[in-house]
């Protein structure tokens, strides 16, 4: 059991946050490839799920 009168210090020494560099996460720059997402899709066609839904038979009760 730990002796609660003494603070626990790991073998490598106490962790001192001020000695560690503070790294700010930086969002990667947006490029044109993000803006052109989906540009290779033909505009006149509907997405596949729309075509499938339209192709379903509409019977009585639907």
Band the pLDDT of 5: cuts 50, 70, 90: confident
pLDDT at residue number 24: 75
Model-wide pTM > 0.75: no
Q: Provide the pLDDT for residue 46.
A: 60
Amino acid 58: pLDDT: 62
Residues 7-51 pLDDT 10s? 777 777 776 666 667 777 777 776 655 555 566 666 666 665 555
Please state, in angstroms and rounded to a whole number, the distance separating the CA atoms of residues 53 and 46: 11
Q: What is the pLDDT of residue 44?
A: 63
């Amino acid at each position: 059991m730990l002796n609660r009168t003494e603070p626990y210090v790991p073998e490598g020494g106490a962790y001192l946050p001020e000695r560690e560099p503070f790294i700010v996460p930086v969002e990667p720059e947006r490029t044109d490839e993000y803006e052109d997402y989906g540009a290779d899709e033909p505009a006149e066609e509907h997405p596949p799920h729309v075509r499938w839904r339209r192709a379903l038979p509409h019977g009585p009760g639907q």
